[in-house]
Each structure stands twice: as structure tokens, then as C-alpha cells.
Amino acid sequence: MIQISKTIKQERLRRGMTQEAIAEFLNTTKTTISKWENATLYPDITMLPKLAKVFNISVDKLLNYNINMTDEEIKKISISLSKMINRTSYDEYLSTVRDYYISHCNEFKFLNSLLGILSNNILYCEDKTQIKDTTILAHEIVKTTEDNSESIYLKRHAQGYQTLMYMFEGDYSSVIENTPDFDLKIGENATLTLAYLQKENVSKAKNVIQTDMYQSLMIYMHDFALMITFGLYSVSLESLESKLYHLNKAFNVDYLYPHLSINCYYQFALYYAKKSDIKAIEYLEKYCQCFDYLVTDFVYQKDEFFDAIEEWLDTLPLGERLPANYENTLNTICSRILENEYFNTLDNFETIKNNLLRIYNKKDEG
């Protein structure tokens, strides 16, 4: 990746030069130099020899060209794009993503990160045209990855994002055609763990097995919430309540995955809103607790059982930060309770309402 902004600032400071002095030599403005150093603007190609002469270095050194982006660079850009959606129009945000894709089309790990950002923020589309533009760009990125990346891992991830795009397009036939009903799981992570143990690398073995369990449990919670939401179960709802209760006892899932547990409690509260005010309020209180976890720390949580997943978190585009928009997620979680007519008539709902608003307002305190 070209890091010319960093180089310009480093070389200027190393020589004790001000931005004004550089600007005067190049016949430009201090504002332009500032933008170069902040990477909000890049020098015109005709400026490169002049800049190199000022610093008495070669153009190659000035460009400081690296083949691969670092994980830190990917994470920084990903977080920036994730936050950008709240500060600008969707079209401008999408244009920025497209520019990054064009300028880094051979950085396949970064392209996977862009696909994740597009998938997370597509809900901000205001019309079908924006959805179409987003999915077209995503499909282009997927094809670039499939055609050029040598990593099976990155290709598989890109194809997973493509499946999500089919869903957003409403192309359910493509989802079905490109996704097996049952994927054979052969325990690669367990095998890898054993291999690390044979090499006496206990630290890596611990990291791999914990990460596999953590992700598997997270997927289970996601599927469990889907099962409850869409009635995809054959046992009683009371039986599902018991399963979630014991799952919490065993793995503390409310704390680890509050963004998933909260959906279960919402469905349980809806179910009891027509049967028992006491039970409905009980589940709304659990809902509030999960909400509190999210407002306080919008991250992948760790505990004493999962204490060796940092290495995995460091590989994620957003690090430990959850891959969703903070403001939008909190607004949705709060409003779907406050605006629900079934909950508003419950005894003691005023207490739930006040608690929700108190928790919601904590986001502005940090």
C-alpha cells in the first residue's frame, strides 16, 4: 500500500520544516500540505519529483510502496467506513468504498473487509437503486477475489458475502442454488488443535479450540433466535425457555452474545404479553440487561472460559468491535419495545420504559 501521507509528515518533521515552508517551495497552500499528511488528499503525480527533491530522497522511498496492507491498516479503514455511514450520504459512502476497491483490487484480505462493510451497512439503503448499486459492487469484489486470490479461505468468505447479497436482492433461488442444505463438518479446527499439541504449541492449540467453540456457540445462538422467531421448532416454547436458561448457566451467553440473546428475550416477551404480564416483564428485564451490555461495550465479549481468543479478534476487520452500526442497532433495540402496542399495556411497563431510556442515554455519556 502507498503510505505517502505518512512519509511526507515523517520527512518534514525529520528536517524540522513547517507545512508553510513546504507549501511555499511547491507553490501551493498549507491547507493542501495538511490534507496530504492526513491522507484526505494525495499529491498530483507531477508533484512527486518536487517533493522527493525537497526531502532529498527517491520517489520510490517517498511512495514507500508495500505489497500488502497490514491488519492495522485494514482495521483502521474498516472502522472509518463503518462510522462514515452516520456522517454522510449513502451514495458518498458507497463511492468511497468503490474507490478503495479500485485502488486496492489486489489486496484480497482487504476486499473481504469491504464486503463485510457493505453487508453490514446495506440496511441504510433508501431505495432499490441504492440496493442494486451496492450488490453490483459487492458481486464485482467477489468476482475479483474468486478470479485472482490464491487463498481458498478468502474465496470461501467472499462467496459467503455473495450469498448475503443474494438475500438482500431477494434472489432466493440463487441462495438455494449456491448453498448446500447440509454442510459436512469434519472438525478441521480439532485436527489443527491436535497438530499444534503435537508440535508442543499449547498456546496456539488453546487459541484455535477456544475460537472454534466461541464461533460455534455464536452461530448456535443465532440459529436458536431464528428458530424462535419463525416458529421452526417442534417442542413447546417453555422447553426452549429452559434450554436457553441452562445454556446461560453453562456458557453465560447473555453476556457473551447480548446482540443474539436479546432477540430470544424479545420473542419470549411477545409470547407472554398475551398470557402473563409477570412473565412478559421478566423477559423484558432480561432484554434490558442485554441492552445494557451492548450500550456499555459494543464488542465481542470475553470471559474466564473464553480467555484465549484475542488472536482471532485481531484478524477481524473491525477487531473486537461488533460488525454492526452502533447508533442504528441501539435505536432499533430501544424503539421496538417502546413502540410495541402489546408491551405498552403491561402492568409495570413504565418501569421497563424508564430503564430502557436510562440505558439508551448512557451511550452519550461515554
194 in any annotated domain: no
Residues 240, 263 within the same domain = yes
pLDDT over 70 (residue 335): yes
pLDDT surpasses 80 at 252:
yes
231 with 354, same domain: the answer is yes
Percent of the chain with pLDDT over 70: 98
Say how many CA atoms lie within 13 Å of 167 toward its Cβ: 11
Last residue within a domain, chosen from 13, 45, 63: 63
Per-residue pLDDT, averaged over 272-276, amounts to 94
Tell me whether residue 208 is in a domain: no
What is the per-residue pLDDT for 256? Answer: 97
Q: What is the pLDDT of residue 129?
A: 96
Q: What is the mean pLDDT of residues 35-50?
A: 86
Residues 308 and 261 in one domain: yes
Claim to verify: residue 27 and residue 57 sit in the same structural domain: yes
Write down the pLDDT at residue 12.
86
d(CA 189, CA 92): 41
* 291 found inside a domain: yes
Q: Indicate whether 281 and 152 sit together in one domain.
A: no
3-state secondary structure 199-214: CCCHHHHHHHHHHHHH
Read off the pLDDT of residues 125-136 as tens digits, 9 standing for 90 and up: 999 999 999 999
Asked if residue 159 and residue 108 are part of one domain, the reply reads: yes
Pair (236, 314) in one structural domain: yes
- CA dist 79 and 248 (Å) reads 31
Structural domain containing residue 163:
71-178
In terms of domains, do 220 and 322 share one?
Answer: yes
pLDDT score of 72 = 87
pTM of the model: 0.77
Does residue 281 sit in the same domain as residue 344? Answer: yes
Q: How far is CA 49 from the centre of its chain?
A: 40
Q: Is 50 exceeded by the pLDDT of residue 1?
A: no
Closest CA to 101 of 63, 132, 143, 151: 143
> Is 108 a residue whose pLDDT tops 80?
yes
pLDDT of amino acid 312 = 94
Question: Which of 157, 147, 76 has the alpha carbon at shortest distance from 109?
Answer: 157
Give me the pLDDT at residue 70, please: 84
DSSP 225-253: HHHHHTT--SS-HHHHHHHHHHHHHHH-H
> Would you say residue 210 lies in a domain?
no
Whether residue 284 is contained in a domain is answered as yes
In-domain check, residue 197: no
In a domain, residue 125? The reply is yes
| Per-residue confidence (pLDDT) for residue 2, from 0 to 100 | 53
Q: What is the mean pLDDT of the chain?
A: 91
pLDDT class for 38, splitting at 50, 70, 90?
Answer: confident
Average pLDDT of the segment spanning 323-351: 93
Q: Is the pLDDT of residue 85 over 90?
A: no
Boundary (domain end) residue, out of 178, 204, 223: 178
Determine the pLDDT at residue 49.
87
Q: Residue 299: beta bridge partners?
A: 321
Encode pLDDT of 188-224 as tens digits. Answer: 999 999 999 999 999 999 999 999 999 999 999 999 9
Instruction: Give yes or no: residues 15 and 105 share one domain.
Output: no
**Quick check: helix, strand or coil at residue 321?**
strand
The answer to the question of residue 50 being in a domain is: yes
For residues 222 and 342, membership in a common domain is answered with yes
The CATH number that applies at residue 13 is: 1.10.260.40
The verdict on 268 and 348 lying in the same domain is: yes
Q: Domain count of the chain? A: 3
